[in-house]
A = this chain, B = another copy of it.
Amino acid sequence: MADHSGERLLKHALLERLMHYYYYVGQRGEGSTPDTVASAEIARFLNMDDTLVRKDLAAIGVRGYPRVGFRTAEIVEAIRRVLGFNDSYRAVIIGAGRLGGALASYTDFTRLGLHIVAVFDNDPARYGSMVSGVAVQPMENLESVVAWRAVRLAILTVPAGPAQSIADRLVRAGVQAIWNFAPTALVTPPDTVVRHEHIAVGLAELSYHLKRRQNGPPEPRAGEG
């Protein structure tokens, strides 16, 4: 596969936009819609400028057709290639609580190349119980499973307290990336990719807007009372 490895790192914001294109174009293609889409249509839906859509698609090697638009299949395939959805990764979940269970049963993961091969917990009452087709295992098995199954990603859904020490174990065991849902920052070596999913950040924005609405006449025109 001629993947020119000299490509430079794509920016976070671009990756995020690509994901939005991916979902819009993918969902749109479900009916009997045309198999091409104009950059302006994507832009309208995502509330952005159409030039940026074209630039982004050009950046990942997708060429459009003047007068026609972009072939949806080419967009989808290019994004899958760039984001790595065509490759397959094994992952484990640490923490068989409600959030861990919810993530374990998120069916989209498989389509995105992610395969949950094990779920761990430190509560013996949970050992052996099935979470989305996988039996919950004790934490002692962590290192051996990571090594034997060449697990590259760990999804951390434990409380803040034990999160750091589990992260240390994961790194030592050879995990390359951690998706951290624990409400605490993790210290890891620079070559470990960590993404901290900070749920309260989303709430902050909603709270801010609710407050504005309550306090003043925030919008230019008053609207209904």
Interface residues of A (CB under 8 A from B): 3, 5-6, 9-10, 12, 15-16, 18-20, 22-23, 27, 45, 82-85, 87, 89, 97-99, 101-103, 105-106, 108-109, 112-114, 152-153, 176-177, 179, 183-185, 191, 193, 195, 197-219, 223
Contacts and interface: CB of A to CB of B under 8 A. Distances in A.
Q: Give the oligomeric copy count.
A: 2
Contact of A191 (B16, B208, B219): B219
A216 to B, nearest CB: 3
A191 B202 CA distance: 18
A210 B153 contact: yes
B109 A98 contact: no
B153 A15 contact: no
A97 to B, nearest CB: 7
Contacts of A185: 45
B153 A206 contact: yes
B207 A83 contact: yes
A112 B99 CA distance: 20
Most buried by B among A197, A198, A206: A206
8 contacts: A5-B216, A9-B218, A87-B211, A102-B102, A177-B206, A177-B210, A191-B219, A193-B206
A102 B113 contact: no
Contact of A3 (B15, B152, B215): B215
Contacts of A204: 15-16, 18-19, 22, 83, 112
Given A10-B208, A87-B211, A183 B108 contact: yes
A101 to B, nearest CB: 5
A207 B84 contact: yes
A20 to B, nearest CB: 8
Contacts of A101: 98
